[in-house]
């Protein structure tokens, strides 16, 4: 079994900031585990601007923001990075098991920081009924398809929910030449940032339906249409308000949830950046959902420091 002072799970903005911070606070034996083949996490697909205004006092795109940390990590020899590595188990004695091509590794750490980010809520979580054809994507998957893979998911799009990724993707589809036919938001105002409403929705004359919800998805092989209804402030249907929108693609952008399955499986409970087990920490979006990556960075720097203090106190 390998031994490390600090194991960090997740090489996105949270994990990278925590690693740098822990190093700067005296930890010299760090393993950073990332499941993808690159560091940077979800920032790599967030190619739009809007990152870094608080932390770097500059307006950067996601990959540029990530790059600043990637460069730092590469310069620090004491941070070992294991890419294409998926952690499959965490135990409350701070043992981490991960798989990577060719290997199954178990690492015993003095401290563990979980920086596993978040995932998007699915259509199922908001109970949209109807059929299950091709053409239903989470906004993040659509973002990955277009920005990373160069693939356009569809040409006539309805976006469910007005989370920031959904708004950003409305613009992205419009720029690619697709028609964004509607954004449907059940609440009476946007869930995303106002600036995104302006530059992603209004700039492209995309119809924004507040107090509306999708009642059903239609289509056998591919999405064909959705039915939409107006709701009151308690989300109850307003009779007679039902109408249909033809589309071939539906994006779901109804919020994010922290990825905490490994922590849960270990029987560990999350408390203010720490957990019920001394030496197991959690930061970034896996701790709580932040609006901005700058806040994720701040939170993770703090967590890196806490982990360093913990490790020092063990000696």
Partner 1 sequence: MKLYDVIIIGAGVIGTSIARELSRYKLDIALLEKEEELAFGVSKSNSGIIHPGTQNPPCSLKGKLCAQGNFLIRKISKELGVDFKEVGELIVAFNEAEIKELLRLKKEAEILGVYGLKIVDRAWLKENEPNLNNAAVCGLYAPTAGIISPYRFVYDLAENAIRNGVEIHTETKVINIIRVDGYFEIVTSKELFKTKYLINAAGLFADEISKMVGIDDFKIKPRKGEEFILDKKKENLTNHLIFPLPSKISKGVLIIKTADGNPMIGPTAEDIEDKEDLSTSDSGFSKVLLSARRLIPSINDKDIIAYFAGLRPVAGDDFIIRHEGKAHGFINVAGIQSPGLTASPAIALLVADILKNNGLALKKKLIFHAHRKKTAHIFASPFSKTKKLIKKDASYGDIVCRCEMVSAKEIKDAIKRGAKTMDGVKFRTRAQSGRCHGSFCATRIMKIMAEETRMPLTGITKRGRGSEIVKRDRATM
Partner 2 sequence: MTIKKLTCIECPEGCRLTVDIENSRIIKVAGNKCPKGEEYAISEIENPVRILTSSVLSQGLGLKMIPVRTDKPIPKSRIFEAMEEIKKVRVSRPLSTGDIVVKNFSGLGVNLIATRRVK
User: Contacts with partner 2 in 110-139 (CB under 8 A)?
Assistant: none
Query: Which of the choices partner 1, partner 2, none does residue 119 contact, using the CB cut-off of 5 to 8 A by kind?
Result: partner 1
Separation CA 189–CA 68 (nearest Å)? 35
Sign of dihedral through CA atoms 121, 86, 69, 284? positive
In terms of phi and psi (left: phi > 0; alpha: psi -120 to 50; beta: otherwise), the region of 203 is alpha
Query: Which of the choices partner 1, partner 2, none does residue 64 contact, using the CB cut-off of 5 to 8 A by kind?
Result: partner 2
108 binds partner 1 (CB under 8 A): no
97 binds partner 1 (CB under 8 A): yes
Which of the stretches 10-18, 58-66, 102-110, 220-228 binds partner 2 when contact is defined by CB under 8 A? Answer: 58-66
Tell me whether residue 141 or residue 193 sits nearer to partner 1 (CB atom): 141
11 binds partner 1 (CB under 8 A): no
User: What is the rounded end-to-end Cα distance, in angstroms, of the chain?
Assistant: 20
Query: Which of the choices partner 2, partner 1, none does residue 153 contact, using the CB cut-off of 5 to 8 A by kind?
Result: partner 1
Separation CA 174–CA 5 (nearest Å)? 48
User: Contacts with partner 2 in 196-215 (CB under 8 A)?
Assistant: 197-199, 203
Other CB atoms within 10 Å distance of the CB of residue 34:
25
161 binds partner 1 (CB under 8 A): no
Q: Binding-site residue total for partner 2 (CB under 8 A)? A: 32
SS3 94: coil
246 binds partner 1 (CB under 8 A): no
134 binds partner 1 (CB under 8 A): yes
At 120, list the tokens: 């998007």
Separation CA 194–CA 308 (nearest Å)? 38
């Amino acid at each position: 079994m390998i031994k490390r002072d600090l194991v960090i799970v997740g090489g996105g903005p949270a994990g990278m900031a925590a690693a740098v911070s822990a190093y700067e606070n005296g930890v010299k034996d760090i393993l950073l585990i990332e499941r993808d083949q690159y560091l940077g996490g979800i920032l790599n697909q967030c190619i739009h601007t809007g990152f870094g205004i608080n932390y770097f006092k500059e307006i950067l795109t996601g990959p540029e923001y990530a790059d600043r940390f990637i460069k730092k990590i590469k310069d620090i020899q004491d941070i070992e990075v294991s890419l294409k590595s998926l952690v499959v188990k965490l135990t409350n004695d701070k043992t981490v098991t991960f798989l990577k091509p060719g290997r199954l590794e178990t690492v015993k750490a003095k401290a563990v920081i979980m920086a596993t980010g978040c995932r998007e809520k699915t259509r199922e979580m908001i109970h949209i009924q109807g059929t299950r054809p091709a053409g239903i994507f989470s906004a993040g998957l659509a973002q990955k398809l277009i920005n990373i893979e160069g693939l356009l998911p569809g040409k006539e799009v309805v976006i469910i929910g007005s989370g920031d990724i959904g708004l950003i993707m409305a613009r992205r589809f419009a720029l690619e030449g697709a028609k964004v036919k509607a954004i449907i938001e059940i609440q009476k105002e946007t869930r995303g940032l106002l600036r995104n409403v302006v530059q992603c929705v209004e700039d492209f004359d995309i119809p924004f339906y507040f107090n509306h919800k999708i009642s059903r998805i239609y289509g056998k092989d591919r999405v064909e249409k959705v039915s939409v209804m107006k709701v009151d402030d308690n989300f109850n249907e307003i009779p007679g308000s039902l109408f249909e929108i033809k589309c071939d693609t539906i994006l779901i952008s109804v919020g994010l949830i922290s990825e905490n399955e490994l922590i849960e499986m270990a029987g560990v409970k999350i408390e203010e950046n720490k957990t019920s087990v001394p030496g197991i920490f959690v930061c970034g979006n896996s701790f709580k959902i932040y609006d901005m990556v700058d806040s994720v960075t701040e939170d993770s720097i703090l967590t890196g420091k806490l982990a360093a203090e913990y490790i020092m106190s063990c000696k």
